[in-house]
Structure 1
Amino acid sequence: MGLAVAISGTAFALAFVLTISAPLAAKEPRGLDASSKWLVDFAPNKCRLVRTFGEGEDRHAIFFEQYWPSARTGLSLAGPRFKRFRSKTNTRMKFFDGQEAMPTEPFKGDTESVGPAIVYSSISLSMGAEADQGYAPGAPNNQLDTNFANKVEFVWVRQRGKEVQLNTGPLGDAFAVLNKCTADLVRDWGLNPEEQSKLSRAPVWKNEKEVVRSAVRKYPNAALVRGEEAILRMRVMIDESGTVTDCILNEATVTDKLNSPFCQNMEMAEFDPAIDAKGKPIASYYATSITYRIRD
């Protein structure tokens, strides 16, 4: 048994709750209709969009989570119908009739409120759960695509004959609120989100392989023995000289023994600073997903 660590790079609080309404999709024979409005949590270090489906013992939930502006989002689907789903197993996914089902391999997880879950580190409504594409300075890919989100009718997944469909209706309005939330996060970090979206060059991590190797060597043995896997979100603040000034690590999945050493190792990280639209060095951030997987 070995350890694999995947890094998905995307270069680069306020706390209150609001609800927004989105039209319900037409009832589908195999689907669960929404039993709540969308709930958006503007948390200090992340933005979360939640909605429940079904009632009583058949209650399910969808969680979209973002920790920085991105065209992709974390996704968790939870409820009793996911009890027999397996981790890292081919799972087909689609969001509207006529869309070709996309192959994915989610983690298996659990939630206190609605039970077993499948968890995706990063998904795109149009491309599925592929690796992050990276940050392209000045391009409109640092936010969720609300136009495409309005095509959504449901979240449908199928694994080994087990099929679950949650009838969300269009997601454009809900994703617009997530975009606003992540822009507010950037402001809370002391940066201007408009300036950051127009960088001519994002921060460049020059010694990534060296830092990652050091962090993997320090993987807690207790976590390895327990077979603990995890999805973590790391954000590093970088000043005009390319110096790391802060590192924040958030758990996207709950673990018991896995205390990742990545922020300690980021003290030795070396960056070329971001460059603004006028060609000058500017303070910015580097944000990435870290996925711990145990290899058989």
Structure 2
Amino acid sequence: MLGAIASPALALEETTRLEPVSGWHVELTDGICRLSRSYSADGQQAVLAIEHFGERNSFSITVAGEAVTRAKATSASVQFGPFFPPHEREVERGRIKGVGEAMLLSSRGLAPPGQDREAEVTEADTPTVPMTAADAEWLRIEQHPGSYLRFPLPKFGEAFAVLDQCVDAMVESWDFDPDEQRALVAGPKVRDQASWVNDIRFPVRELREGFDGRIWLRFNVDAAGRPTACTTVKSADADRFGSACENLLRIARFDPARDHEDKPAASYIVLSIRYDVY
């Protein structure tokens, strides 16, 4: 149940309003299309980054800098305003070199593993926000009740269109036709998740060191549901989890994508895997 709504005066006092101090920047790096911009508020610096892993209208949001150092919440409410409702997101913390503390806003991923410390695979990659980018005027992140970060999004529609072009180029580099992929009525789905849990191995050295980590993997999946390639698109520490693709390529099985005639089709899927130690 939601708490009481704060008065307008209180909400204003507890809102950190950041203003853009740079233009939008779009880049394709290591299998990720990234849209970013620098902000500032009362001398506090922040960077807002929206990262596409290849699935249209599905992206992660990262906020880094001094403005995010105060709150340590494990979840946050994210809203693209003024026309779209807020969405609750899981928060992961980290640091970005040269920027500072960062929080990654994600709504889906790996559930915590059981007592045997084996990871659990869940489908779906990055949070999905159904929206028309041109309609978004600001982004508001509620780190805890009554505490907000507010980012104006001037020319966001134009920037997001460039990001879409980046995504198309990235999909083409994987030997897929972007138009054909958009026409699919369903993408690949994880099959037999329980068997994945039993076969995924937590890295022994990291277990002993008490290390937690998350990786994002992209699988190319043929029309029979077999993975034909696996690529690590993002990792907290590639050296520690570099064998994940090799291990999962042997055991991963999927229900293939479906076209408008409900026929199986070749496509791709991005999965997020988190290893937790208790």
Query: TM-score by structure 2 length?
Result: 0.74
> Aligned equivalents of 1:189 and 1:98: distance in 2?
34
> Aligned equivalents of 1:55 and 1:206: distance in 2?
47
Shift of 1:223: 2.7
Q: Is the 8 A contact 1:144 1:179 kept in 2?
A: no
How many matched pairs?
251
> Aligned equivalents of 2:145 and 2:129: distance in 1?
33
> Aligned equivalents of 2:83 and 2:175: distance in 1?
43
2:49 equivalent to 1:79: no
Shift of 1:161: 6.0
Q: Is the 8 A contact 1:78 1:117 kept in 2?
A: yes
Residue in structure 2 matching 1:190, options 156, 168, 175: 175
What residue is the counterpart of 2:113 in the other structure?
none
Shift of 1:227: 4.2
Shift of 1:46: 1.0
Q: Is the 8 A contact 2:222 2:266 kept in 1?
A: yes
> Aligned equivalents of 1:96 and 1:243: distance in 2?
40
2:147 equivalent to 1:177: no
Shift of 1:48: 0.4
| Cα deviation code 1:124-150 (max 9, x no counterpart) | xxxxxxxx9969xxxxxx996335x52
Q: Name the CA shift for 1:49/1:226 in 2 (closer, same or farther; >3 Å).
A: farther
Q: Name the CA shift for 1:52/1:199 in 2 (closer, same or farther; >3 Å).
A: same
Residue in structure 2 matching 1:70, options 56, 69, 73: 56
Greater relative contact order (Cα < 8 A, sep 6+): 1
2:105 equivalent to 1:105: no
Shift of 1:210: 0.8
What residue is the counterpart of 2:35 in the other structure?
49
- Which ranges of structure 1 fall in alignment gaps of 5 or more residues? 1-27, 124-131, 136-141
Paired AA for residue 50 in structure 2: F
What residue is the counterpart of 1:287 in the other structure?
270
Residue in structure 2 matching 1:247, options 230, 234, 246: 230
SS at match of 1:179: helix
Paired AA for residue 38 in structure 2: T
Note the 1:196-275 alignment, pairs <5 A.
196-215=181-200, 218-254=201-237, 257-259=240-242, 261-275=244-258
Shift of 1:248: 0.8
Q: Is the 8 A contact 1:91 1:157 kept in 2?
A: yes
SS at match of 1:95: strand
Paired AA for residue 69 in structure 1: E
> Aligned equivalents of 1:97 and 1:173: distance in 2?
18
What residue is the counterpart of 1:10 in the other structure?
none
Q: Is the 8 A contact 1:237 1:245 kept in 2?
A: yes
SS at match of 1:210: helix
- Which ranges of structure 2 fall in alignment gaps of 5 or more residues? 1-13, 109-121
Q: Name the CA shift for 1:157/1:274 in 2 (closer, same or farther; >3 Å).
A: closer
Q: Is the 8 A contact 1:223 1:256 kept in 2?
A: no
> Aligned equivalents of 1:154 and 1:241: distance in 2?
41
> Aligned equivalents of 1:290 and 1:192: distance in 2?
27
Q: Name the CA shift for 1:112/1:202 in 2 (closer, same or farther; >3 Å).
A: closer
Q: Name the CA shift for 1:201/1:214 in 2 (closer, same or farther; >3 Å).
A: same
What residue is the counterpart of 2:138 in the other structure?
153
What percentage of residue pairs aligned between the two structures are identical?
25
Paired AA for residue 189 in structure 1: W
> Aligned equivalents of 1:257 and 1:238: distance in 2?
25
Paired AA for residue 53 in structure 1: Y
2:102 equivalent to 1:91: no
SS at match of 2:67: helix
Shift of 1:36: 0.3
